[in-house]
A = this chain, B = another copy of it.
Amino acid sequence: MDNNQLKQGILEGNIRALSKAITLVESTKPEHRRQAISLINELYDHRKSSIRLGITGIPGVGKSSFIERLGLDIIGQGLKLAVLAIDPSSTKTGGSILGDKTRMEELSRAPEAFIRPSPSSGTLGGVAARTRESMLLCEAAGFDVIIIETVGVGQSETEVINLSDIFIMLAMPGTGDELQGIKRGIMEAADLIVINKADGENMNAAKRAKKQLEIALHLFPASDKGIVPKVKLASALNNIGVNDVWKSLQNTHKELTENGWLENARKAQQAKAFQKLTEISIYEQVMQQLGREMGLEKIKADILRGNINEYAASIEIMNDLKKLLTKL
C-alpha cells in the first residue's frame, strides 16, 4: 500500500492499514523511515485526543488479566482501545510476550480493541520513538484510549513513563505484609498503584499494604503533574475494583487536562521527538551526500585491518567534515 491508501485506510479505522503502517514505522530501512515520517505528518492533524495509559508489572502480578478486564470496561463504554506492548525480555530469539495466544483472549476478539506487540530490538530511533509513532497512528485511526504495556524491566519502563499521560504500576500481596512488584525508582513515577489479587485470604494483607503504601508515597517528592498518587485494591479475576480504577483514571486525566500538565507534556514530547528525528536524519543525509567525499568506507576498512583505531578515525572524520562545512 502506498501512503495515500494507508492514510485513507487509517482514517476509516481500517485495522489492516493501521497494522501495515505500524510495520512501516518499525522498519529501519531509510526509504521506509521517510515514508513513515511523511505518513505521520499527513495524519497528524486528524488524530483523536486519546487517553494514554502506561502500565507496568512484573510477570505473575496478573497484568494480562487486569488489562483485559480494564479493556472490556473501556470498550463496554463504547470507546475504542489500542494496547501496545513493549517486550525487551528476549534478545536473541525476538520472542514476544504476546506469543501466548491465550493472553487477553476475550479482549483480542473484540472488534473495538487492537492489540499489538512491539519488538524492542535494534532500531535507529529506539523503542520510545517507535512506540510513540505507533501511538500517533492509533490516534489517527480513531482510538480513544491507548495502553502502553511493559513487562517491567529496565529501560522500557522509563520510556513508557515518558510516553504516557498516566503511569500505572501493578503489585500484588506477597507473603506477610510484603508487596510483590514494587520497584524503587519506578514506584516514584507511578500515578496509580493497583494492588491486584486483592481477594480471599489476600484481602487483609492487601488492605494493610495499601495503607502503608499511601504513607510511603507521601515521602517521595511531588511529581510535576500536580496530582496525588493513588493506591487502589482490585481483583481482575473476580472483576472487583477494576471499574473503579477506570473511573479514577478518567478523573485523573481530566485533572491533568485542566491543570495544563497534559498540554505541556505533549509539547515537550514533540520537541524531544523532533530532536531525535533530526539527529538521525542529519546523520543519514550527511552520509548519503558526503560519505564518499569523507572517505568513510575506506576508514571503516582501515579500522577492520587494524591500520587505525576507531577514536583516531572519528577525530579524522570530524576534521574532514568541519573543513567541508566551512566551505558553505
Please list the residues of chain A having a beta carbon within 8 angstroms of any beta carbon in chain B: 37-38, 40-41, 44-45, 88-93, 95, 121, 153-158, 161, 183-186, 188-189, 267, 270-271, 273-274, 277-283, 285-287, 289-290, 293, 296, 299-300, 303-304, 306, 309-315, 317-318, 321-322, 324-328
Contacts and interface: CB of A to CB of B under 8 A. Distances in A.
Nearest to A150: B154
B274 A314 contact: yes
Given A93-B185, A279-B280, A281-B314, 4 more contacts: A38-B311, A154-B156, A267-B304, A277-B311
A91 B189 contact: yes
A286 to B, nearest CB: 5
Nearest to A223: B92
A124 to B, nearest CB: 9
Contacts of A183: 89
Contacts of A88: 154-155
B92 A315 contact: no
A44 B274 contact: no
Contacts of A89: 154, 183-185
A217 B92 CA distance: 14
A270 B310 contact: yes
A303 B271 contact: yes
